[in-house]
Chains A and B, each alone.
Chain A
Amino acid sequence: MFRYLIRRILWAILLFIIITFVTFVIFFMGPNDPARAQCGGDQARPACLKLVTEHYGLNKPLYVQYWRFFDRLVVHQNLGYSYANGSSVNQTIAKAAPVTASLVFGGAVIWMMIALSLGVYSALRPRSLLDRTAMVFVLIGISAHPVWIGLIFEYVFGVKLGWTPIANYANFFGAPAGSGLPGGPWQWFYHMILPWFTFALLFAALYVRMVRANVMETLNEDFVRTARAKGAPERRILVSHVLRNALLPVVTMLGMDIGVALGGAVFTETVYQLPGLGQNLVVGIQANDFATVQGVVVFATVAILLFNLIVDVLYAWIDPRIRLA
């Protein structure tokens, strides 16, 4: 197990270097000019461009810039400063990460709740009305784009019914003093309801199908028959024998999907104007703000790798075949 962990961590580091370097190369391959963002964009004057370029060392060779970035990151744990607005990328991410975490983890809770209840129920009653309804839900969830769903939700629940805020984020720990903005746990929850559901819908749909298939498959396993032959009641069979086995692949998927989910969060964050990582990424790309883009990529990579590691450990904990292999 320890060996396995070490190996995973070494892999993670290698992957990390590759990903950051590739991001670097991709960014500098294009005709991007990060200095332009600070010099008024389209109308940047030559003098200003020269000044800013030298200031950020943008005229240095790629490998020198990468090395500077890497050295700063590893030695000082510093992701640098935005090319577009000079803010500390560390701070940007420190502010954005809780927003994205709120969205992703809250959304994951909702999607797992939906997926488990609907999935198990439809597996137990295949072809029932609920099962069919669930499949329609799945179809909608899979085919609809989160931005579209988000706009519909905003319009229906925010503009027309007025039940929820249309958009924006409320800090869980209270809004900044004197800002007059909403804050606190309730406001946080209130503002996150629509984003959570929007975000969760696609994954809930995918996972309903997966849970349903897994539960149905596990119900046909020989050991379930063994449990019945022992005289175990159905409820016990479901809880003790079926669910844990059926959820094993779901846990793996969860680990793999966290990266996909972060990607999906970009859309949800954009449409609900949540100042999370995804939105910072989009803005950073639009503004040629490489420092911020790289910072988000680095952070997301680390988060994904870390989360995968946790899932691996969790998986080993649930599945003795891995733990004891």
Chain B
Amino acid sequence: MEASTTGTNNSVVDPNDLLVIDDVKKHFPITRGIIFQKQIGSVKAVDGVSFSVKKGETLGIVGESGCGKSTLARCIIKLLETTGGQINFDGRDITKLSRSTMRPIRREMTMIFQDPYASLNPRKRVGAIVGEPLEVHNLGSASEIKTRVQELLEVVGLNPEHYNRFPHEFSGGQRQRIGVARALAVNPKLIVCDEPVSALDVSVQAQILNLLKDLQDDFGLTYIFIAHDLNVVRHISDRVLVMYLGKVVEIATRDVLYKEPKHPYTGALLSAVPIANPELGRKREPIVLEGDVPSPVNPPSACNFHPRCPRFVEGHCDVEEPPLYSFGNGHVAACHYALERWPMDASEIRRASASRAPEPEPEQPLPA
């Protein structure tokens, strides 16, 4: 436990870090009782997550549904109050900021949502939707806002003349472009993208991914990119964080993570992704995990992946919670029996080497 809670304290913040998340928790209480609702438990949606994001980089967060990645995103931009931990944005602790003091900071971190159909108000015109954050933050007169909105529409590849149209007049991909334009409107430093392409068709998905990359290059944006699709995350991210049941299981740079995953869960995820190459795809035998993701209300003891883990070692994994072991270069993974190499097939992965992984990271800032 101690390693995973080892976080950054403010004094050693790397000036290159735009966002530092330290041991953030979000527990949703479960109450019971007839009149006096007493809390009998909690859904540990996010349970002690620490990481940092450097200026101008893209951090991918990947995990299956229910792993807490969307909750984490909402905690970061303070749509949800955290239960514990600290969020440092651009050198400021924003964890406890009130609504009003948070307001100027909201300009600097925006969000793109998954469902381009649901996240745009169908009764508002595109101009109003994109211009809304500008109005909220009082950035300019009506005509200035209009000019800015048209500029933004052009930036995201829409016809600025479509300023007066309604969202339903656009296709899914175009709507997501509107969402991107809205997020860009206030010149944010950080954009949290929550599954921005999962509702889109493949060809359109590529357009949006390319657009996001272009915008990052042009405006020096920092992204937190949340997705369940490992292909997409790999394509867009510089570093990738894998979550399972509210906890970080592995963080590494993109190339390292995909080439040398250390955590068996990461390995299982990678091997489960179908590859659009019949020769390659059929040759390998995927590591098929048994059963379903357990409930976050009552997560398994110690390493919460242990009931499904192909390398589960009884009496260890279910007793001692693995800290985030370091594998050098900021690569950390929470496993006592990290994968020795990759790829492995299903039978190989079961043979965990008895040797312990390296010692836990000493107290120091998380992956640089």
Direct contact of A and B (CB under 8 A): yes
Q: Which residues of A contact B (CB under 8 A)?
A: 3, 6-7, 10
Decide if B136 is an interface residue (CB 8 Å cutoff). Answer: no
Q: Which residue of the partner chain B has the closest CB to A6?
A: B34
Query: Which B residues fall within an 8 A CB radius of A?
Result: 34-35
Alpha-carbon distance A10/B35, docked complex (angstroms): 9
- Chain B hits for A7, CB < 8 A: 34
Provide the residues of chain B in CB contact with A3, threshold 8 Å.
Answer: 34
| CB-nearest residue of chain A to B32 | A3
Q: CA–CA, A3 to B35, complex, Å?
A: 11
Question: Please, could you name 5 A-B residue pairs with CB atoms under 8 Å apart, sorted by A?
Answer: A3-B34, A6-B34, A7-B34, A10-B34, A10-B35
B34 to chain A: which residues have CB within 8 Å? Answer: 3, 6-7, 10
Residues of B within 8 A of A10 (CB): 34-35
B355 to chain A, nearest CB (A): 47
Q: Give, as a whole number of angstroms, the nearest-CB distance from A18 to chain B.
A: 15
The CA of A7 and the CA of B34, in the complex, are separated in Å by 5
**Which residue on A lies nearest to B35, using beta carbons?**
A10
Interface SS of chain A: helix
Report the nearest B residue to A10, measured CB to CB.
B34
When distances are taken between beta carbons in the complex, the residues of chain A under 8 Å from B35 are 10
Bound: A129/B34 CA distance, A: 52
Q: How many A-B residue pairs have CB under 8 A?
A: 5
The answer for the CA separation of A95 and B146 in the assembled complex, in Å, is 71
Q: Which residue of A lies closest to B34 (CB)?
A: A7
Q: Which 3 A-B pairs have the closest CB atoms?
A: A7-B34, A6-B34, A10-B34
Measured between alpha carbons, how far is A7 from B33 in the docked complex, in Å? 9
Distance, CA A6 to CA B34, complexed state (A): 8
A167 to B197, CA, bound (A): 67
Question: CB-CB < 8 A to A6: which residues of B?
Answer: 34
Distance (whole angstroms) from the CB of B36 to the closest CB of chain A: 12
CA distance A274 to B143 in the complex (A): 67
For the complex, what is the distance from the CA of A219 to the CA of B299, rounded to whole Å?
39
CA distance A154 to B274 in the complex (A): 74
A10 to B33, CA, bound (A): 12
B268 CB, nearest partner CB in chain A, Å: 30
Q: How far is the CA of A102 from the CA of B34 in the complex (A)?
A: 36
In the complex, what's the smallest C-beta–C-beta distance from B115 to chain A, in angstroms? Answer: 19
Least CB distance from B89 to A in Å reads 39
A50 to B184 Cα, complex, angstroms = 77
**Docked CA distance A240–B35 (Å):** 39
With A and B bound together, what is the CA distance between A46 and B35 in angstroms?
Answer: 50
Q: Output the least CB separation between B135 and chain A (Å).
A: 38
The minimal Cβ–Cβ distance linking A92 to chain B, given in whole angstroms, is 35
In the complex the two chains form, what is the Cα distance from A3 to B32 in whole Å? 10
Assembly CA distance A137 to B160 (angstroms): 49
In the bound complex, CA of A7 to CA of B32 (Å): 11
Complex CA gap A7/B31 in Å reads: 14
The distance from the CB of B40 to the nearest CB of chain A, in whole angstroms, is 12
Q: Taking CB as reference atom, which chain B residue is nearest A8?
A: B34
For the complex, give the distance between the alpha carbons of A84 and B225 in Å. Answer: 74
- Give the distance in Å from the alpha carbon of A248 to the alpha carbon of B35 in the complex: 28
A187 to B73, CA, bound (A): 70
Determine the distance from Cα of A274 to Cα of B46 in the docked complex, in whole angstroms: 63
CB distance from A5 to the nearest CB of B (A): 10
* Least Cβ–Cβ distance between A31 and chain B, in angstroms: 39
Q: How far is the CB of B113 from chain A (nearest CB, A)?
A: 25
How far apart are the CA atoms of A7 and B35 in the complex, in Å? 8
**What is the bound-complex CA distance between A10 and B37, given in angstroms?**
14
Q: B233 → chain A, closest Cβ, in Å?
A: 30
Kindly provide the distance from the CB of A309 to the nearest chain B CB, expressed in whole angstroms. 15
Interchain nearest-CB distance for A260 vs B (Å): 28
Return A11 CB to nearest CB of chain B, in Å. Answer: 9
Query: How far is the CB of B32 from the nearest CB of chain A, in Å?
Result: 8
CA of A256 to CA of B364, assembled, Å = 61
The closest CB in chain B to the CB of A14 belongs to: B35
Measured CA separation A3–B31 after assembly (Å): 13
Q: Shortest Cβ distance from A143 into chain B, in angstroms?
A: 28
- Min CB–CB distance A16 → chain B (angstroms): 16
Q: Which residue of B lies closest to A7 (CB)?
A: B34
Closest chain-B Cβ to A2's Cβ sits at a distance in Å of 11
Give CA–CA (A99, B35) in the complex, Å.
37
Min CB gap B289→A, angstroms: 27
Kindly provide the distance from the CB of B297 to the nearest chain A CB, expressed in whole angstroms.
14
